[in-house]
Structure 1
Amino acid sequence: MKNLPMDKWICYAVGFVFITTGTLKLIEQDFKLVFTDLGLPYPHTILFVVALVEIVCGALVVARLYLKHATAPLILIILAAIFLTKIPILTGNEGILQFLLHARLDIVVLILLILIFQHAPGKLLK
């Protein structure tokens, strides 16, 4: 059996995270409350757009199509998630360890997105 190259596994993992999260945003009512609590204008519309972008761009990453175009909005989404939902943990009473615990997946996915972006369509993702 032939081993899959590492770049394919990275794309599958990153795509899985965003397709799953985007889908959950559309079907779980809890996300509407989270977006409303963030104080963003038109939270339900933003939630729908973010979910749709996550699903579509996640699928493009899995398929390894238009990687620079697909990863750019995902990088912005993950940065917004870190700034809107994780950074407040640092400014609250919870401290850096709680921030690191809650932000660990976001940080790992951000690093993987940057790697995909930097290497698409170059050597890593041919």
Structure 2
Amino acid sequence: MQLNMNLSKWICYSVGYVFITSGILKLLVSDFKALFISLGLPFPTSTLLLVALIEIGCGMLIAGRMYVNFAVPPLILIMFGALYLTKIPVLLNKGFFSFAFEARLDIVMLILLLLIWQHIRGKKVI
């Protein structure tokens, strides 16, 4: 089997996969509700549902390479929110190396989203 797809397709499939699975788990695993409550967010249950649905919907759009220009910005915002709310406290309380380990997926996903955004803003078709 030969993999002749270009890199941008693989990036879209991987980013979509991560967000789809993350969103589904937020809906199915009750630990996420407790996490959102502990973050002190207003309306944590509604916020959790909204974040999960955005992750699933936008992840599907990116994986399907449809309306990517509308799907990327909300996910970038979610990644910045996740870093700010859950990873910056690790940096402040446990130090850089704990932060670097805990934030590794968030940072990689943010970089990949920015690459996708740059690619579509350059008017190239993904």
TMscore range, shorter length: over 0.9
Amino acid at match of 1:81: A
Partner of 1:21: 22
Amino acid at match of 1:102: E
Partner of 1:97: 97
Measured in 1, the distance between the counterparts of 2:109 and 2:7 equals 15
Partner of 1:79: 80
List 4+ stretches of structure 1 deviating above 3 A.
none
Gaps of 5+ in 1: none
Amino acid at match of 1:116: I
Partner of 2:89: 88
Measured in 2, the distance between the counterparts of 1:78 and 1:15 equals 14
Partner of 1:113: 113
DSSP 3-state at the match of 1:120: helix
Task: Give the conservation status (yes or no) of the 8 Å contact 1:11–1:64.
Answer: yes
Partner of 1:31: 32
Amino acid at match of 2:112: L
Gaps of 5+ in 2: none
Amino acid at match of 2:61: L
Amino acid at match of 2:44: P
1:43 aligns with 2:44: yes
Compute the TM-score of the two structures, normalised by the length of structure 1: 0.95
Measured in 1, the distance between the counterparts of 2:85 and 2:5 equals 36
Give the number of equivalent residue pairs. 124
Q: Percent identity?
A: 53
RMSD: 1.1
